[in-house]
Every structure is written in structure tokens, then in C-alpha cells.
Amino acid sequence: MDYSQPARRRARALRRLLGASLQAPVWRGGTSIQGYWWDGHENFGDAMTPWLLPRYGIVPVHREPARARFVGVGSILEFLPADFDGVVWGSGLMHEAPRALPAATFLAVRGQLTRELVGNPPGCALGDPGLLVARHRRRPAARWELGIAAHGHHRDDPHLRGLAAAQPGRVRLIDVNRSIPQVVDEIAACSAIVATSLHGLITADAFGIPAAWTVWEPALPGGEFKFRDYESVVSPGSSRRFALGPDMRVDEMVRQAVQVSATAVADCVTSLESATHELWSIARSTARFPTSTVRQVLDRG
């Protein structure tokens, strides 16, 4: 059955509800809110919203953009209707073009470029909420010298597969189309990361792992914009982009990886957690867990 079929979407919503109910902040004083994030296929970056928020006492229930009261992690602001009057929590734009959302409440956006393109809303925190993942997942012992966090479009690329197959004890090709614990634990078990997946890069930064990013074929929608937007916060004025050539050796790839400022990441985490607590307050004013949440899930359209 296709990942996006209604029956599978409903099953995912119920599994998320069960998983969220096991989080202490939810059963101590949880709330729920209807929100939008990309849920068209399995990808750990797209799943950050429903994985992270229960750890702050918020149970998000997926809705299409027109019915959402908040929008979460991802390059998804273009999907919102022009009259969207909900909350923006850590989202970004896909393309480098102005996007007016005058009725929205901006708690946080992914980067400075997105903030400028939506009109510089006041009091808006900067940073991708994926940086919060290290607050809720312990880093395992290192297993690989280099991890290649390939976007889903690149995971079957023969060159990237060949790099990992040639030195399996040294290089790990990380499949990002799996659950957050699986992907995050593999990224965190690497001493350096090279990414074509933005959230592969973000996860490395969350754990303080040296990282770099590159572009690969097929090209991704929006090109390099989302990487530049994110780096405008954690490494302003400096990019970790490099050109990965067919003859580049593993040692050379490892040397491309750079650790961003721990202070910059910590500042982002503080601002994002503050924005998350504000989102909790907004949601709590209208909904309580579990009664409102179950009703929202069963009303899933």
C-alpha cells in the first residue's frame, strides 16, 4: 500500500498518538494542535515535527495546509495559502522568492534568508528545529570515520554506494528514508559527515560533528537555497559546500568537514526551545491531551 494512502496516514497518526502518549511532558500536561509538515514519504527530516514536539508536551495532528493551525519543519512555506493565520515553527522556503504571509504568527524560521523573504517578522527566532534532536537522543560511540548522509534521491547512486562498499568498516552510506532513531544514531556514530541531505547536515551540527555538504545529481528542488538559508544562522558568512568529484578519496572528503560554532548552535537551541514553549502555550489555550487529541485524530481528513 502506498505511503500516502488514507489508511496508512490514519495508521501513522494513531502510532504517533500512542508514541506521544509515552512522553512524560505529554502526560504531565500535554496539549495538541493541528499542523502541517510533509508526510508524503518516509524521511527522517520530514518526521522531525511529530517526533520532537511530544518531547515538549505537544502532540501534533497532521492536517493539510488549509486546515492547519501551525506549520513545522521543512521547506514547506510555499504550500501555505496566502491567508494562513496559524503559527510558523521553524519552517523554511524551498525557493529564493518573496512569500507574503501577513496573517501568520512567526515563532521561528529556518534561517535569515527565509526571514527576509517573508518580510522580517519581529521576534522571530532563527534555526531549524532539527538542532533540538541532540537534546533528546544520546550520542553513541563512534563506529565510522565518515558518514555519507545522502538525500533519498541519491541513496542508490552507484558512486556513493561504491565509496561505502569499498571500505565498509570506515565509511557508512546512511539511508535517510528510515525512522529518526535509526538515522540519527548512525549519523551520531560517525566522526565526520558529508551530506546531500539538509537534515543530515543539521543532525551532525546538533551533535557537534564536523560536517560538509555537496550537491549531487539529480538536482534537488530549490537547489542550494535551503542549505544557504540554514547556514546563515550556524555559520554566517561561511559555507561548508564543496565539490565532490568522482576521484575524491575518503581522506579528502573527511578533510572537508568542519565543525560549526558550538555557541551558535547553543544559541539556536535556546531560541528554538523558547519558541517551542510558546507554541505549547498557544496550543494549550484551546486543547488538552488526550481528549482533544483523540478527537482530532479520528477527524483526520
Same domain, 144 and 180: yes
Q: Are residues 192 and 106 in the same domain?
A: no
Q: How far apart are CA 63 and CA 33, in angstroms?
A: 10
- Is residue 138 domain-shared with residue 85, that is, in the same domain? no
Residue 174 phi, psi dihedral angles, 5° rounding: -95, 120
Q: Residue 198 is placed in which grid cell? A: 539538509
Residue 215, in any domain of the structure: yes
Model confidence pTM above 0.75: yes
Q: Are residues 209 and 254 in the same domain?
A: yes
> Range of 222's domain?
133-262
pLDDT in tens, 62-80: 999 999 999 999 999 999 9
Q: CA 145 to CA 193: how far, in whole Å?
A: 9
Number of neighbours of residue 43 by Cβ within 10 angstroms = 20
Backbone phi, psi, residue 28, to 5°: -85, -20
Q: What angle do CA 236, 241, 243 make, to 5 degrees?
A: 160
Looking at the structure, tell me whether residues 118 and 153 fall in a common domain: no
What is the average pLDDT score of the chain? 92
Q: At 35, is the secondary structure helix, strand, or coil?
A: strand
Please check whether residue 283 lies inside any domain of the structure. yes
Same domain, 40 and 84: yes
pLDDT at residue 163, rounded to an integer: 87
* Region 88-102 average pLDDT: 98
Q: How many domains does the chain have?
A: 2
Q: Are the C-beta atoms of 69 and 87 separated by less than 8 Å?
A: yes
1 domain-assigned: no
Residue 210 lies in a domain: yes
DSSP string covering 74-117: EE-GGGS-TT--SEEEEEE-SSSS----TT-EEEEES-HHHHHH
pLDDT in tens, 13-51: 888 888 898 999 998 889 999 999 999 778 899 999 999
* DSSP-assigned letter for residue 254: H
Residue-wise pLDDT for 196-249, tens only, equals 999 999 999 999 999 999 988 777 777 899 999 999 999 999 999 999 988 889
Q: Which of 21, 49, 56 is nearest to 34 (CA)?
A: 49
CATH code for the domain in which residue 158 is found:
3.40.50
Given this model, what pLDDT does residue 301 score?
47
pLDDT surpasses 60 at 295? no
